[in-house]
Amino acid sequence: MHGFGYDSSSDDYKVVTLSSCQRVTFVDVYSVKRGVWKRVGISPYSHVFPHLSSWVTFRKSICPGTFVNGAIHWLVPGREPGSPSVIAAFNLANEVFVEIPAPSGVDMLNILLNKLVVRGGCLCLLYTREHGQTDVWTMEEYGLKESWTKFTIHDDIRRPLGWLGDEEVVLLTTCEALVVYNRTNGKLRSMVVDGHRPVLDGCNFMESFVSTASIGPRSKT
């Protein structure tokens, strides 16, 4: 597993890798600013899914962590055997793990039904229910369990990509299509990009005047 994010306390971009060996997961952090790797310790979580097939485990292992509020988040098995999965957040400033409370009413025992994404700068949990329904949970106030809000989309979605105004959200579906969901009337409409369908993948893009090259290590002349 891996993740990438910005540490505002040190004005540094960091890459985090999680490598498991015999149920022990090592945490390594690369500082773009200093150009060095360091091992910060062992994760309190296994990050291994022994009950899943090798293919599903591989797919989950290559998915990047979700960066929100200065931390990289992963869905991981609970610490006790048979316990529900939890949201583990690795804080880039102090480089330790903390748990983020999950919303009530979500089946955290079945990790295949859940996925973490970002929506509007907030941590978001997609919970896939039966009959192609997806609950989109958003943590409006980071770290506060009571701040989770939900709306339901009657379609299988891979993840939300962004907002069009206050009521419409652009979604990438599992059928490789872009759709726009209106929260007011609950309707979906197709979105065509340059006349091409299907859309194999999509991601958010945000322009920045900050270049990672400007904070990286400089060679001596």
Count of beta carbons in the 10 Å neighbourhood of residue 100: 20
10 pLDDT above the threshold of 90: yes
Residue 130 is given by DSSP the state: G
Question: Does 103 sit behind a cis peptide bond, omega within 30 degrees of 0 on the bond before it?
Answer: no
Residue 186 is given by DSSP the state: -
More confident residue, 88 or 171: 88
CA–CA distance, 152 with 171 (Å, rounded to integer): 13
pLDDT computed for residue 144 by the predictor: 95
Residue 117 CA: distances (Å) to CA of 39, 54, 76, 133: 26, 23, 15, 17
Classify residue 7 by burial, with Cβ atoms within 10 Å: 0-12, 13-18, 19+.
Answer: buried
Kindly give, in sequence order, each residue whose CB lies less than 8 Å from that of residue 68, ignoring residues fewer than 6 positions away. 118, 121, 122, 123, 142
Find which of 42-51, 66-75, 176-185, 202-211 is predicted with most confidence, using mean pLDDT.
Answer: 66-75
Kindly give, in sequence order, each residue whose CB lies less than 8 Å from that of residue 172, ignoring residues fewer than 6 positions away. 157, 158, 159, 160, 161, 178, 199, 201, 202
166-187 pLDDT, tens digit each: 788 887 776 767 888 888 888 8
Count of beta carbons in the 10 Å neighbourhood of residue 119: 21
C-alpha closest to that of 77 among 104, 37, 44: 44
The pTM for the full model equals 0.78
pLDDT computed for residue 99 by the predictor: 94
Confidence of residue 163 (pLDDT cuts 50, 70, 90): confident
Beta bridge partners of 24: 21
Mean pLDDT (the chain) is 80
Over range 73-98, report the average pLDDT.
Answer: 90
User: Which of 3-17, 75-89, 187-201 is predicted least confidently?
Assistant: 187-201
Phi, psi for 212 (deg, rounded to 5): -65, -25
221 pLDDT above the threshold of 60: no
92-133 pLDDT, tens digit each: 999 999 999 999 888 887 766 788 888 778 998 988 777 667
23-65 pLDDT, tens digit each: 788 999 999 999 999 999 999 987 766 554 444 444 555 568 8
pLDDT computed for residue 213 by the predictor: 62
DSSP H helices, the chain, are: 54-62
